[in-house]
Amino acid sequence: MALLNDIEPLKQSALTELKNAPDLAALEQTKGAWIGPHGKFTALLKQLGTLSKEEKPAAGKAINAAKAELEAALAERRSELELKAALPKEPIDFSAPGRRRALGKLHPLTQVTEDIVRSFRKIGFVVADGPEIEDEYHCFDALNTPADHPARDTQDTFYLAKPENSQLPASNSYLLRTHTSSVQIRVMEKQKPPIRIIVPGRCYRRDNADATHNPTFHQIEGLYVDKGVTVGDLKGTVEFVFKEVLGVETKIRFRPHYFSYTEPSFEIDFSNALVKKLGKEWLEIAGCGMVHPQVFENVGYDPEIWTGWAFGFGIERIAMLRYGINDIRLFYENDVRFLKEF
């Protein structure tokens, strides 16, 4: 039977060609030439019809077996060639440096905050926290800031709608805290004196963003309550921390000021080489004072027994000075090229 005898030599030639195809394109062509619709092997299948009934089964079986072998050879050569195509054309330089995964870093504001907190921890302060969604009472009233005070203006403060099921009395409303001072009240409401806390946190004001303002910013609040606390304690503490954070040659001075929750109140100015580089002698950095007796009354502390001081300052301001940054908005853009600098 001629057909049956043709199968083996045809298969051998096809196998040789498939195995030796030099690339993927040549392989596809070879495939077409043998087992495509017009391929030489396919032609054999078509001749099956011309065979007698007795010859057909054996021939059909042989052809199918040979075809399966060719398809397996095709698949094997294809994966070989695909792998070869994926390999680099040039020889690899094994001494070249690898591609490193870049390590992340702490944000400069976080670094400054951690430095300040670390410094306060050395002298016995602990970190306290409070809600960023505050209410008017804790942000203003309890801090002795009257309802007609400009700080409460809708121009300065983001007020929030009161939910229907709110527990808050009608006279009180929700807002985004404008300073971390509200946490003074939250802590004193819950804890008995003495108190030594530091409160880093995010604050919000209705400011338009420019080089020195941003509607979201960060503050650090400090509160110290004990018996017989003096302005001298306040000054000594502030001086210790500022020298740690901004350098030993840093000088500070207190200027009289007004805050409704402290009496007397001061603004703190500092001076060092950085400030002089800006062409100034002193730079205002923080507000502070002795806790107002009314604030103690509001939280149920007896002002005849307890005394204390508080301060608050902006973290961005310190970070800008420390790193020589001239636009506050850079802190919030999360541009990796900026963040990598610190």
Contact positions vs ligand DAH (CB under 6 A): 179, 181, 221, 259, 261-262, 287-289, 310-312
Tokens of 229: 């606390």
Residues 182, 143: contact at Cβ < 8 Å?
yes
Closer CB to ligand DAH, 27 or 315, in the complex: 315
How far out from the chain centre does Cα 176 lie? 21
Closer CB to ligand DAH, 299 or 310, in the complex: 310
- DSSP conformation letters of 208-258: PP-SS--SEEEEEEEEEEETT--HHHHHHHHHHHHHHHH-TT-EEEEEEEE
Instruction: Give which of 110, 103, 101 is closest to 332, Cα–Cα.
Output: 110
Which residue in the block uniquely carries the two structure tokens 């802590």? Answer: 187
| Smallest distance, ligand DAH to C-beta of residue 257, A | 8
Instruction: Please report, for residues 70, 71, 81, the alpha-carbon distance to residue 36 in angstroms, rounded to integers and kept in the order given.
Output: 12, 11, 20
- DSSP conformation letters of 54-105: TTHHHHHHHHHHHHHHHHHHHHHHHHHHHHHHHS-SSPP-TTSPP-PPPPP-
| Smallest distance, ligand DAH to C-beta of residue 221, A | 5
Closer CB to ligand DAH, 41 or 193, in the complex: 193
Give the single-character DSSP code of 315. Answer: H
| Smallest distance, ligand DAH to C-beta of residue 299, A | 14
Dihedral angle over CA of 45, 49, 53, 55, nearest 10: -40
Closer CB to ligand DAH, 97 or 256, in the complex: 256
Closer CB to ligand DAH, 259 or 306, in the complex: 259
Closer CB to ligand DAH, 113 or 262, in the complex: 262
Tokens of 186: 């939250």
Give the C-alpha separation, 238 to 34, whole Å. 89
| Smallest distance, ligand DAH to C-beta of residue 261, A | 6
Closer CB to ligand DAH, 41 or 140, in the complex: 140
Closer CB to ligand DAH, 113 or 181, in the complex: 181
- DSSP conformation letters of 45-64: HHHGGGS-TTTHHHHHHHHH
Closer CB to ligand DAH, 179 or 218, in the complex: 179
- DSSP conformation letters of 102-144: PPP---HHHHHHHHHHHHHHHTT-EE----SEEEHHHHTGGGT
Tokens of 259: 């805050």
Give the C-alpha separation, 284 to 230, whole Å. 22
β pairing state of 126-127 and 195-204: parallel
| Smallest distance, ligand DAH to C-beta of residue 288, A | 5
